Copies of this chain bind each other. A is one copy, B any other.
Amino acid sequence: MIDFITLCDYSGTFAFAISGIRLASAKQFDWFGAYVIGLVTAVGGGTLRDLLLNATPFWMEQASYLTVSGLALLFVIIFKKFVIRLNNTFFIFDAIGLGLFAVVGIVKTLEFGFPMWVAIVMGTITGSFGGMLRDTLINEVPLIFRKDIYALACVFGGFIYYLCTFTGMSSSIIQFITAVSVFLIRVIAVKYHVSVPVLKGEES
């Protein structure tokens, strides 16, 4: 039986891969290129985290991440028009993935014996570096630097995790609260157009 965390993990991977594949298709990439972009979007953050932690990259221990990214490609090819209309659904998946990836990054970093502030950085990297790589590879300025609250939701989630550790709650409840917080911060930020002030350019 597949457990809840694994289900979230696969949903997040699927949603992240879809976001990469859709952007690649807008740039006329071929199927293979789109697959690579989708895969990089989905596993890029966790890979950088594992390199920094000196751990074996997670996707090298289990083929399912490559498979899920492949299913995402198939899905986009088959249901192309459908996919465009499903914007909101994918946004929700993506936000779930963000919350879960942030928690995975935090937990794994603490397990490796690093202090909380490193774990917050790693949660943020796990959640947002894949999207940054995606945008760099398709030659765009990374969206996460310019729009809405994305990586920052992971940072807030990290602080919430930290605060929860003082309450005596069980670690699975803390993880759940953190993931939900990241998800809600992201959804609320987009719905109400909450954003960080722009640092005005020197020319202006």
Contact = CB atoms under 8 A, between A and B. Distances in A.
Residues of A in contact with B, size category? 35 or more
A16 to B, nearest CB: 17
A106 B22 CA distance: 30
Given A30-B197, A151-B32, A199-B30, A60 B52 contact: yes
A196 B199 CA distance: 35
Given A51-B51, A51-B52, A66-B121, A196 B30 contact: yes
Nearest to A56: B54
Interface stretch (A142-150, A157-165, A174-182): A142-150
Contacts of A132: 137
B201 A26 contact: yes
A10 interface: no
21 contacts: A24-B199, A25-B202, A26-B202, A28-B146, A28-B199, A28-B200, A30-B146, A30-B198, A31-B196, A33-B196, A36-B145, A36-B151, A37-B145, A47-B52, A54-B54, A60-B118, A77-B199, A80-B200, A132-B137, A139-B140, A139-B141
